[in-house]
Amino acid sequence: MQGLSLYPADVEGKTGYIDAAGTLIIPPQFDSGGAFHEERALVANIDPARETDPKTGLYKQQAGFIDAAGNLIAPLAYRYARRYSEGRAAVLVGSKWGFIDREGETVIEPQFSAAWHFSEGVAPVMLGKRWAVINPSGEVLFEMAASAIGQCCDGLMPCEAKRQWSYLDRTGTVAFEIDCRAAGEFSEGLAAVLAKGRTAAQGYIDTTGRWAIEPQFSQAGPFREGLAVVELFNAGPGKIDFSKPQVFGYIDRRGKLAFETTFRYAMEFSDGLAPVKVGEADEYGYIDTTGAMVIPPIACTAAFPFEGELAEIQDADGESWYINRSGEFVWPLRA
């Protein structure tokens, strides 16, 4: 099973897993199942009474992890869990979060009021009402009073404290402050930042805190494969006309449109392709990084980036389908 790409698939209300050819590999047996990360997938069974968990706001559940053979490597014993990242997965036990390793063994005892993924060797957590950052052994590297601390990317973490945004290094030292309304995580050396001012425009800063792309977009996504999807102001600089369709495009690292074609909606690139909505009809196609339409528009209400060989699309009822890189339906098959 090493290296095998598997995808969650629903069969009569239960989730199993298929391979890229649409063959059912892991029989449907769980109430929900997530994508595989680091050869582990988060699965769960939902409380039959559908009672809401006051901690998570979701239905009460019993969550665990399976490997690519369908074996439970962590039992369905957790109140909630997050996907694996860098060999660790955050799990909720009672009212506290801890971390397990890839074998399902507890490596950081439950002690945090909240916990997120590891990235570049560190993870943000909460100790009561204070934010902290830990290493894979659970050692607290620093803690502070803050409103938010994001994931570490390119060695920096966005942080909001006392309505002031800054970026911290792994020791908690402020690398630089930035006067803005909101700041995002870095991707490929650039971070989307919402500037102050009435126009609420977004641009990108580099890892020194300087504007690399001046604020000029209504929305700004992360850079993936050298391009970022942005929403363009549709009624002149800094203005949105809500009676008109949204306009999305892709920019390069200079902030220039990578190709002139724009879209009604668009998502980030993954494995060389990105889902786009061309017009008002419920149809999505997939373009490559040159802007060429590689997979012609398919009737659906939502489409998601490729993960390996398959991409998920959904209809108006929320039913999921998988297509391959040729645009053919793999699961379930269509007549």
Unique residue bearing structure tokens 């039959």:
48
* Helix, strand, coil percent values for the chain (each to nearest 5): 0, 55, 45
pLDDT of residue 4: 61
CB of 200 within 8 A of CB of 191?
Answer: no
Strands of the 164-168 sheet, one edge to the other: 148-149, 157-161, 164-168, 174-178
pLDDT of residue 235: 86
CB of 322 within 8 A of CB of 310?
Answer: yes
Number of domains in the chain: 1
- Within-domain flag for 29: yes
Q: Count the neighbouring beta carbons within 10 Å of the beta carbon of residue 117.
A: 17
pLDDT in tens, 254-306: 999 999 999 999 999 999 999 999 999 999 999 999 999 999 999 999 999 99
- Copy the structure tokens of residue 187: 């991707």
CB of 201 within 8 A of CB of 216?
Answer: yes
- Copy the structure tokens of residue 143: 């803690």
- Within-domain flag for 31: yes
pLDDT of residue 130: 97
Q: Is 316 helix (H, G, I), strand (E, B) or coil?
A: coil
Amino acid at 87: G
**What whole-number distance in Å separates Cα of residue 280 and Cα of residue 282?**
7
Domain region containing 8: 1-112
- Side-chain-side CA neighbours of 316 within 13 Å: the count stands at 4
CA-based end-to-end distance of the chain:
31
Element containing residue 53 per DSSP (H, E) = none
Per-residue H/E/C for 6-23: CEEEEECCEEEEECCCCC
pLDDT in tens, 173-203: 999 999 999 999 999 999 999 999 877 899 9
- Copy the structure tokens of residue 85: 């990242």
- Within-domain flag for 74: yes
List b or e across 255-276, with b for residues whose CB sees 16 or more CB atoms inside 10 angstroms: bebbeeebbbbbbbbbeebbbb
- Copy the structure tokens of residue 302: 């939502």
- Within-domain flag for 335: no
- What stretches in the chain show pLDDT beneath 50? 1-3
- Within-domain flag for 36: yes
**What whole-number distance in Å separates Cα of residue 326 and Cα of residue 307?**
14
**What whole-number distance in Å separates Cα of residue 151 and Cα of residue 284?**
31
Amino acid at 311: A
- Within-domain flag for 63: yes
Amino acid at 82: R
Which one, of 94, 95, 29, lies nearest residue 66 by Cα?
29
